[in-house]
Amino acid sequence: MVAPFENLEIGDFEQAMDVMFWGTLYTTLAVLPLMKTRGQGRIVNITSIGGKVSVPHLASYSCAKAAAVAFSNGLRNEVRQSGIDVLTIVPGLMRPART
């Protein structure tokens, strides 16, 4: 949802969190036990520069991406000793291609 903060509703934040944070968390919860059993694995979370630098009109997006960045970074520190690597990819600003 791209809109000034004053035009956002709680549902906009909930939707952003459902997709960009909870989606990341649930996927990780599904694979992490198997990786721990094997003693190795790689988790790659694609986040966004919006999770590190918030810009006007993208508050719900930035909040969800910041949560995903924090989760990924925290998880990396906790599972490293189990032989699991967690990589957080933070792409920069994307602009649509001109045709």
Looking at residue 59, what is its pLDDT? 94
**pLDDT at 55 (0 to 100):** 85
**pLDDT (0 to 100) of residue 69:** 96
pLDDT for the residue 54: 87
Instruction: Tally Cβ neighbours within 10 Å of residue 80.
Output: 11
> Measuring CA to CA, which residue among 90, 83, 54, 55 is closest to residue 69?
90
| 26 labelled catalytic | no
Q: Is 16 exposed, middle or buried (0-12, 13-18, 19+ CB in 10 A)?
A: buried
Domains (range + CATH), the chain: 5-89 (3.40.50.720)
pLDDT per residue rounded down to tens, the chain (99 residues): 889 999 999 999 999 999 999 999 999 999 999 999 999 999 999 999 989 998 889 999 999 999 999 999 999 999 999 999 999 999 987 777 777
pTM here is 0.87
Answer yes or no: are the C-beta atoms of 47 and 55 closer than 8 Å. no
Among the listed residues 24, 61, 67, 79, the single catalytic one is 61
Round to whole Å and give the CA distance between 34 and 25. Answer: 15
Question: Which pLDDT belongs to residue 37?
Answer: 97
